[in-house]
Structure 1
Amino acid sequence: MRNQRITGLFATLMFILVVIAGCGSNKSTSAQTDTMLVPIQVELEVAPSPIKTGDSVKFTAKVTHQGENVDDAKEVMFEFWNTADDNAKHNQVQVKSAGNGTYVLEHTFEEPGTYEVISHVTARDQHSMPSKQFTVE
């Protein structure tokens, strides 16, 4: 009976040691994870200001990751609509890199109103959706 207790205690101790060993950290994996957790940065610009009906408006998304320009985003799309109209169509236009981390769309608005634009950016396994509201006079 005493041998059974010692064997049971030994088995329990070995199990605990195996679990603790399995929970050890791998520094290279940890460093890779830390790099991946740094979020992409997206600066959304709407120009010119003020915007007149019939004028060309430029939407620009400047995309960076860890201070470096991102020219290879998986997807960059601008979505815009008139906020005063609950049934307004949400226009969605996908764009390619214009270089130096910038993605640009030019559009002309024929009707005055308050509009919203969202830039949908997917890069470095992340998604960012900054938005801006602007007025067309």
Structure 2
Amino acid sequence: MKKWLYPVIFLIIFTFSACAGEDPHSNSSMPEFVDVEILMPDEIEVGETVQIQCRVTQGDETVNDADEVEFELWKDGDPDDQHQEIEGTLEGDGIYYIDYTFDEPGTYYVISHVTAREYHIMPQKEFKVVE
């Protein structure tokens, strides 16, 4: 009885080890994540028109083909329904922007909502508007 047991065990081990090879569906060259950096001054004067930008990249490549770039702005303490959402314009070299004038001093926030190359990125930045 032991004579047939060893070949069966060997056959089972051999079969499972052959199936444990590299997964043909695995993607060893997965694309790099899309990165978004908000570019703007940390402090802005009331009444000053400022350009708020975001730079969109994927690895070393600039992304000029984003599906959506939208800037969401609000003053600290404002309810969600008072957030302003403004579509960004492509300047080139992965830079998208809006021009905006702030009428009141205070602490503000901006989120750039970027959908590009099957990723959705939402970096946020806090800044001050002063008199």
Higher helix share: 1
2:22 maps to what in 1? Answer: 25
TM (norm. structure 2) is 0.78
The root-mean-square deviation of aligned C-alpha atoms, in Å, is 2.8
Task: Give % identity.
Answer: 35
Q: 1:19 to 1:78 in 2, by over 3 A?
A: farther
1:130 maps to what in 2? Answer: 123
Deviation at residue 26 of structure 1 after TM alignment: 5.4
Deviation at residue 45 of structure 1 after TM alignment: 1.0
Deviation at residue 56 of structure 1 after TM alignment: 1.0
2:51 maps to what in 1? Answer: 58
- How many residue pairs get aligned? The number is 129
1:74 maps to what in 2? Answer: 67
Aligned residue identity for 1:124: R
Higher strand share: 2
Q: C-alpha deviations, 1:55-99, integer Å up to 9, x for none?
A: 21211001111111100112211111001x242611122224221
Q: Secondary structure at the match of 2:18?
A: helix
Q: Which runs of 5+ in 2 are unaligned?
A: none
Deviation at residue 105 of structure 1 after TM alignment: 0.8
TM (norm. structure 1) is 0.75
1:43 maps to what in 2? Answer: 37
1:117 maps to what in 2? Answer: 110
Q: 1:10 to 1:127 in 2, by over 3 A?
A: farther
Residues in 1 aligned to 2:6 and 2:55: alpha-carbon distance in whole angstroms: 61
Deviation at residue 116 of structure 1 after TM alignment: 0.5
Aligned residue identity for 1:121: V
Residues in 1 aligned to 2:89 and 2:15: alpha-carbon distance in whole angstroms: 51
Equivalences for residues 79-90 of structure 1 within 5 A: 79-83=72-76, 85-87=77-79, 89-90=82-83
| Matched-pair contact (CA < 8 Å) for 2:105–2:128 | yes
Aligned residue identity for 1:25: E
Q: 1:105 to 1:9 in 2, by over 3 A?
A: farther
Q: 1:107 to 1:18 in 2, by over 3 A?
A: farther
Residues in 2 aligned to 1:95 and 1:15: alpha-carbon distance in whole angstroms: 60
